[in-house]
């Protein structure tokens, strides 16, 4: 077992990836190292940043050594780095230059000679602009290369990575993941995201990752190539990615771009440095601009790398606390296309619920801000349980009460007063009422279970958000179809202005569609009492 999962949140996880040179705490970021010319020297990465894992390109390195008639030897010696080194196969060069002068067998032999700790077979990347036919060809060739590579691998102490291709064509992604996942790789990677990220196609990136993850063995770690911006990392971890690599910290520095947790800023636009890393404590914005190009590049790269590492640590802490969703929502407001990607999660809410633990180590209340939060696993799980478990065939009246301020709901004075009226009115009548709370974000909560976490362990922003109201209609439809209610009473409380007339009218329309009669209480408990007498009389008469 090379991969041990420690904690989970959503489909994300923290864990330990064991290699022959040490243990990687995941999620982890692999800085891309240019074996010929790196902006940040390797000794600074080791000593200043405490980096224990890097990635470099085996294809480029081998070509460099061969051109200088130098032997291919231990990469740890070449780079003077005695920790974990991952090597890529040259597939990115295929994406850029369309072809490389290497084959899958040769790259296996090279990486074994280099003594890589984690090594990637030669896959064929799917371009973000590829046609379906072109994408299918890359998938076919990647699978073919994988079969050849598996047969030629001789070193079992190296973690071999089987990449998945297919790009924006989710059926090809699933097919490729199934085929690659059935082979004896210890780790997997998802290829082709770089162009999607460069063009802010974050919703397509969500499709790519989820469809690959669904088909890959859950016990194997998954690497995502080319992901290195703190803006997108929390979402990618939440979808199930464990490790990442990127040269973004250096590429942005070359272009005088300053990474922040929510974007990038051109250096000439900076009046102050909005960060507290070592670089930003040492320099003023004006001083940084006045440095010579080489010095400025290294210092900017060090800042950029600091921000990425800090984001990885923030993600680990969020998983530990069970607040990864909140972190995603904070990020989502930083860019419209990222917000669009978070909305895409509604399509995959059952995937998130499947892997999100119902009990987490650090139990705390959840926050609900607006309709994108309906994708939260806790809400999906509640609707699933309503569907599977809530059956009250003897209760003929469904009473929907708006959520009171006090929690748990069944202990609130307002709810107690309503329940007292129900019990007193129907004391001598053999008619049972099912009392439920209707509310955002859980839709409908039967009072019998309102103390179950997190049904009353949440805080929400109360506003007129018609998209959020959809969860009430969904939950009502589940209850009405699975039970034998003859009547629905909707208690309309003017104190609950966010549960406005529109949602009441939509509930009424739903009941009519399902042939269930509806009564709306608008004038308090006295009107409720009269309605209960009338409806119970009709039930008993039948």
**Could you list the active site residues?**
88
Q: Is 55 exposed, middle or buried (0-12, 13-18, 19+ CB in 10 A)?
A: buried
DSSP secondary structure, 128-176, as one string: TT--HHHHHHHHHHHHHHHHHHHHH---TTSEEEEEE--TT-HHHHHHH
CA–CA dist 31, 56 (Å, integer): 8
* Strand pairing category for 187-190 and 222-224: parallel
The secondary element (H helix, E strand) that includes residue 22 is: strand 22-26
∠304-165-160 over CA atoms, to 5°?
75
CA–CA dist 514, 350 (Å, integer): 26
Q: Which residue has the tokens 């072109």?
A: 134
Q: Collapse the DSSP code of 445 into the 3-class scheme (helix H, G, I; strand E, B; otherwise coil) and give the result.
A: strand
Which residue, among 28, 8, 7, has the nearest Cα to 18 in the 3D structure?
28
Instruction: Determine how many CB atoms are found less than 10 A away from the CB of residue 449.
Output: 17
Instruction: For residue 319, list its beta bridge partners.
Output: none
Is residue 12 within 8 A of residue 237, CB to CB? The reply is yes
∠413-414-415 over CA atoms, to 5°?
95
> What would the 3-class secondary structure string for 33-81 be?
ECCCCCCCCHHHHHHCCCCCEEEEEHHHHHHHHHHCCCCCCCHHHHHCC
- Which two tokens mark 55? 């990635």
Is residue 329 within 8 A of residue 369, CB to CB? The reply is yes
CA–CA dist 119, 127 (Å, integer): 22
CA–CA dist 285, 295 (Å, integer): 14
Which residue, among 246, 143, 137, has the nearest Cα to 194 in the 3D structure?
246
Q: What is the DSSP letter of 111?
A: H
Is residue 374 within 8 A of residue 470, CB to CB? The reply is yes
Which residue, among 151, 179, 154, 153, has the nearest Cα to 165 in the 3D structure?
179
SS3 content of the chain, % helix, strand, coil (to 5): 50, 20, 35
Which residue, among 279, 278, 277, 249, has the nearest Cα to 264 in the 3D structure?
249
């Amino acid at each position: 077992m090379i991969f041990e999962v420690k904690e989970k949140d959503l489909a994300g996880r923290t864990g330990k990836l064991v290699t022959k040179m040490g243990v990687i705490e995941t999620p982890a970021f692999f800085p891309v190292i240019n074996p010929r010319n790196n902006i940040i020297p390797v000794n600074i990465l080791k000593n200043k940043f405490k980096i224990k894992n890097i990635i470099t390109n085996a294809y480029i390195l081998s070509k460099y050594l061969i051109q200088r008639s130098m032997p291919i030897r231990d990469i740890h010696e070449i780079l003077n780095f005695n920790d974990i080194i991952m090597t890529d196969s040259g597939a990115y060069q295929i994406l850029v230059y369309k072809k490389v002068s290497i084959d899958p067998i040769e790259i296996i032999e090279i990486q074994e000679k280099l003594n890589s700790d984690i090594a990637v077979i030669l896959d064929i990347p799917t371009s973000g602009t590829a046609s379906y036919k072109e994408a299918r060809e890359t998938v076919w060739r990647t699978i073919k290369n994988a079969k050849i590579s598996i047969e030629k691998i001789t070193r079992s102490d190296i973690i071999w990575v089987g990449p998945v291709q297919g790009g924006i064509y989710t059926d090809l992604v699933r097919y490729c993941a199934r085929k690659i996942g059935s082979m004896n790789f210890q780790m997997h990677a998802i290829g082709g995201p770089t162009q999607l990220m460069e063009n802010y196609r974050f919703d397509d990136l969500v499709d790519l990752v989820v469809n690959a993850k669904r088909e890959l063995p859950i016990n194997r770690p998954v690497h995502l190539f080319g992901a290195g911006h703190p803006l997108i990392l929390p979402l990618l971890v939440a979808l199930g990615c464990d490790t990442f690599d990127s040269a973004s910290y250096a590429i942005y520095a070359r272009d005088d771009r300053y990474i922040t947790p929510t974007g990038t800023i051109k250096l000439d636009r900076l009046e102050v440095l909005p960060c507290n890393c070592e670089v930003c404590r040492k320099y003023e914005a004006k001083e940084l601009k006045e440095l010579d190009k080489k010095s400025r590049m290294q210092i900017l790269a060090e800042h950029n790398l600091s921000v990425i590492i800090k984001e990885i640590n923030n993600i680990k802490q969020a998983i530990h606390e069970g607040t990864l969703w909140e972190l995603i929502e904070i990020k989502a407001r930083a860019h419209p296309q990222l917000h669009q990607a978070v909305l895409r999660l509604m399509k995959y809410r059952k995937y998130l619920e499947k892997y999100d633990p119902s009990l987490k180590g650090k139990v705390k209340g959840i926050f609900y801000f607006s309709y994108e939060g309906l994708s939260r696993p806790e809400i999906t799980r509640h609707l699933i349980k309503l569907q599977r478990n809530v059956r009250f065939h003897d209760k003929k009246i469904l009473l929907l009460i708006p959520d009171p301020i006090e929690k748990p709901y069944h202990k609130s004075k307002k709810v107690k007063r309503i329940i007292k009226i129900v019990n007193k009115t129907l004391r001598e009548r053999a008619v049972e009422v099912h009392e439920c709370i209707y509310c955002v974000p859980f839709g409908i909560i039967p009072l019998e279970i309102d103390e179950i976490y997190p049904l009353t362990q949440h805080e929400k922003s109360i506003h007129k958000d018609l998209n959020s109201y959809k969860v009430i209609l969904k939950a009502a439809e589940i209850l009405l179809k699975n039970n034998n209610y003859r009547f629905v009473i909707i208690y309309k409380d003017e104190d609950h202005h966010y549960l406005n007339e529109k949602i009441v009218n939509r509930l009424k329309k739903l009941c009519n569609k399902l042939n269930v009669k509806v009564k709306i209480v608008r004038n308090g408990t006295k009107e409720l009492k009269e309605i209960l007498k009338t409806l119970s009389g009709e039930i008993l008469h039948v």
